[in-house]
Amino acid sequence: MVHEFQYRAPRSLSELLALMAEHGTSAKVLAGGTDLLPNIRMGIAKPAFVVDCKRLPDADRLVFSPAEGLRMGHGVTISAVLRDRTIREKFPLLAEAAHELASHQVRNRATVAGNVVNASPCSDMALPLLCLDAVAVLTSTSGERTVSFREFFTGPKATVMKPGEFLAEIRVPASSADRKGRYAKLKRVKGHDLGIVGVMLASSPEGLRVAVSSAAPTPVLVSGIGRGLDAEAVDALVQKAIKPIDDVRCTAEYRRYMVGAYIRRLLPEVSR
């Protein structure tokens, strides 16, 4: 790589937070590196400090308890999500989205935390996290706060995170366990292409939810959809919430069309 930077691999959270507080926006956290390193290579990211978070204790912690729900450490990879039995049984939507993300080698390295901090409108993991009322635990030298993923994304590649903040953990409440749903993602070649559009339908206590990727500046969640509605009515509600654009991968019109097509395809499976 042409761009030069200093590499740090802190062994404790306090050391990592101190580095981030000291260097502010010139420091970038390095998790799986599957977004950051290609971006450095392309000259899109030019951090002076690269702070590897994988050597922190408990980075890969992945535990479920009825009291605390699912707790995913920042180092949990997409492959670890796929391998985890509790996730497959209690939170199958996380596994469905994980399965659609990139290729085997990328999934072995990429983290769920890195996926949401990267905040691409086409993020796969954002959709189940939105459908399951997950929250992000953000830590910095000035303390800790918890942000719902419904408020987390603010624009393409933009989040509520402030300079110096670190996403320490993702939590999914136990009350979201066993939510049924389905995910469909349009892409040219599985494993290589980012999604053209993605649609997840999920049940929830207050009605149907539809989460959509690659169809607005951020991943979109439409919640509280009345149970008896037919696919046309659900589609009409979702069409009002999305704002797709024309880009290199396809037109806005095609994205809108495919969102409707996926809703028609998935709704009967989810209402069953």
Ligand X SMILES: Cc1cc2nc3c(=O)[nH]c(=O)nc-3n(C[C@H](O)[C@H](O)[C@H](O)COP(=O)(O)OP(=O)(O)OC[C@H]3O[C@@H](n4cnc5c(N)ncnc54)[C@H](O)[C@@H]3O)c2cc1C
Q: Which stretch binds other proteins (CB under 8 A): 46-54, 57-65, 157-165, 201-209?
A: 46-54
Tokens 């989040």 identify what position? Answer: 159
**Residue 187 beta carbon to other proteins: minimum distance, rounded to whole angstroms:** 11
Tokens 């409707």 identify what position? Answer: 260
Query: Concatenated DSSP letters for 106-129?
Result: HHHH-BHHHHHHHT-TT-STHHHH
* Residue numbers at the binding site for ligand X (CB under 6 A): 28-36, 38, 53, 74, 101-102, 106, 109-111, 113-115, 117-118, 122-124, 166-167, 194
Pick the binder of other proteins from 10, 19, 21, 33 (CB under 8 A): 33
Pick the binder of other proteins from 13, 18, 52, 203 (CB under 8 A): 52
Neighbours of 224 (CB within 10 A): 10
Q: If contact means CB under 5 to 8 A according to the sort of partner, which of ligand X, other proteins, none does residue 212 touch?
A: none
The footprint of other proteins on residues 149-168 (CB under 8 A) is: none
Nearer to other proteins, 55 or 180 (CB): 55
Distance (Å, whole) CA 72 – CA 87: 11
| 4 contacts other proteins (rule: CB under 8 A) | yes
| Helical (H) or strand (E) element with 159 | strand 158-159
| 7 contacts other proteins (rule: CB under 8 A) | yes
Distance (Å, whole) CA 247 – CA 84: 36
Pick the binder of other proteins from 13, 19, 21, 37 (CB under 8 A): 37
Nearer to ligand X, 157 or 264 (CB): 157
Helix 231-241, helix 252-271: angle, nearest 10: 140
Q: Is 230 exposed, middle or buried (0-12, 13-18, 19+ CB in 10 A)?
A: exposed
Q: What is each CA distance from 185 to 87, 124, 132, 159, in whole angstroms?
A: 20, 9, 18, 23
Q: Which stretch binds other proteins (CB under 8 A): 1-9, 86-94, 162-170, 254-262?
A: 1-9
Q: If contact means CB under 5 to 8 A according to the sort of partner, which of ligand X, other proteins, none does residue 216 touch?
A: none
β 49-52/27-30 pair status: parallel
Query: Which residues of this protein are in contact with other proteins, per CB under 8 A?
Result: 1-7, 9, 30, 32-34, 37-38, 40-42, 50, 52, 54, 79, 102-106, 108-109, 189-192
